[in-house]
């Protein structure tokens, strides 16, 4: 290490040279890095009044490049330009073994990547299409045939999803993942569509629409509704499931009246892989139908029956 306080090619006052030795003319050579305060001479890099931390890009290079600069006003810059001060209100975010970057204090935008795979009866791995924030399962939502999976039933590694033993998706099922990625996953949510919203913006509406089905009636079904068969006597009733359903559409049913009411499908749609209609022959049955978006399966029953 040499301290330099001279003019010319040997560096300028306020320069500390690392890995340097002197040639026959007492000029520093083989400089590997420096801390300098003035941009004059081949071994000093920066601007007047600034404190500059400089390194080589390679051992063979003879040029020192500024990696961090502290200005005479107290600003901090990272990178070779010496002017990367960021914007007021920004914070530094690590870029690994590279100069950090300035990001808005709120974290910058997150990205949600949707990917679909086919179940094959194994634990995987299956592609996510993106790396979740922090490599955490907390930023990956998994659905099998439209049914949400508990977070304890799968793991993630990089961009790969694997299921735990005993939770393997059956062959032919659809695995849909929604992966949130980004430097900080605290993005502002202006609206959320979970299939049960009344169109509100800036709010999440978790309510479903309860509808009573009385004796002897035929009810046209609407997605994301609860149908309550209340009649204990009289004629059976029929609920016709929605035509042209969207993947993940939900119909909840409660047969508290106990009659053998009928669930009819639209067109060629199926229920649990079988052509409709379906008769509810269990007293007080309560369950949910999810549209799987798989033609061979149609509506899938989940919950109690």
pLDDT in tens, 166-179: 999 999 999 999 99
- Please, are residues 71 and 49 in contact by the beta-carbon 8 Å criterion? yes
What is the model's pLDDT at position 21? 66
Q: 293 Cβ partners below 8 Å, 6+ apart? A: 145, 146, 174, 246, 247, 248
| Per-residue pLDDT at 141 | 94
Cα–Cα separations (whole angstroms), residue 246 to 115, 211, 224, 274, 295: 17, 20, 11, 19, 12
> Mean pLDDT across the chain, nearest whole number?
80
Q: How confident is residue 287, by pLDDT bands cut at 50, 70 and 90?
A: very high
Whole-angstrom distance, CA of residue 69 vs CA of residue 81: 9
Do residues 48 and 33 lie in contact, with contact meaning Cβ atoms separated by under 8 Å? no
Identify the three-state secondary structure at position 16. strand
Using CA atoms, how far apart are residues 273 and 301, in angstroms rounded to an integer?
Answer: 11
The predicted-structure confidence for 4-13, as pLDDT tens digits, reads as follows 654 544 444 5
pLDDT at residue 11 in the model:
43
Inter-residue contact 296 to 279 (CB < 8 Å): no
Q: Are strands 76-78 and 174-181 parallel, antiparallel or unpaired?
A: unpaired
Residues 84-143: tens digit of each pLDDT: 777 777 777 777 777 777 776 655 567 889 999 999 999 999 999 998 888 889 899 999
CB atoms under 10 Å from CB of 177, counted, come to 23
Predicted confidence band of residue 197 (pLDDT cuts 50, 70, 90): very low
**CA distance linking residue 110 with residue 102, whole number of Å:** 16
β-bridge partners, 56:
64
Residue with tokens 């079988």: 274
Exposed (0-12), middle (13-18) or buried (19+): which is 46, by Cβ within 10 Å? buried
Tell me the per-residue pLDDT of 67-92, one tens digit each, with 9 for 90 and over.
888 877 778 887 766 677 777 777 77
Q: pTM to 2 decimals?
A: 0.38
Domains annotated for the chain, with CATH where assigned, are 2-104 (no CATH), 111-181 (no CATH), 209-302 (2.60.120)
Taking residue 67's Cβ as centre, other Cβ atoms within 10 Å add up to: 18
Strands 274-275 and 33-36: unpaired
Residues 290, 145: Cα–Cα separation, whole Å? 8
């Amino acid at each position: 290490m040499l301290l330099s306080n001279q003019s010319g090619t040997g560096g300028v006052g306020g320069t500390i040279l690392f890995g340097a030795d002197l040639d026959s003319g007492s000029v520093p050579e083989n400089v590997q890095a420096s801390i300098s305060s003035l941009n004059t001479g081949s071994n000093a890099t920066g601007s007047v009044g600034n404190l500059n931390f400089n390194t080589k890009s390679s051992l063979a290079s003879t040029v020192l490049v500024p990696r961090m600069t502290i200005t005479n006003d107290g600003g901090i810059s990272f990178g070779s330009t010496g002017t990367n001060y960021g914007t007021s209100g920004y914070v530094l975010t690590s870029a690994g073994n590279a100069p950090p970057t300035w990001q808005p204090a709120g974290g910058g935008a997150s990205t949600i990547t949707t990917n679909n795979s086919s179940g094959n009866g194994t634990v995987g791995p299956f592609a996510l299409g993106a790396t979740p924030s922090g490599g955490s399962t907390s930023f990956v939502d998994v659905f099998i045939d439209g049914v949400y999976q508990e977070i304890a039933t799968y793991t993630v590694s990089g961009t790969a999803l694997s299921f735990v033993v005993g939770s393997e998706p059956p062959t032919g099922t659809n695995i849909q993942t929604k992966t949130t990625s980004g430097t900080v996953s605290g993005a502002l949510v202006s609206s959320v569509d979970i299939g049960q919203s009344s169109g509100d913006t800036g709010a999440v509406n978790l309510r479903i629409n309860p509808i009573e089905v009385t004796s002897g009636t035929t009810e046209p079904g609407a997605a994301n509704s609860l149908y309550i068969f209340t009649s204990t006597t009289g004629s059976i009733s029929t609920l016709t499931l929605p035509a042209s359903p969207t993947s993940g559409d939900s119909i909840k049913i409660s047969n508290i009246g106990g009659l053998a009411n009928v669930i009819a499908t639209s067109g060629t749609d199926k229920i649990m892989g079988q052509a409709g209609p379906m008769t509810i022959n269990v007293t007080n049955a309560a369950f949910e139908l999810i549209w799987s978006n798989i033609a061979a399966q149609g509506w899938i029953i989940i919950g109690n029956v």
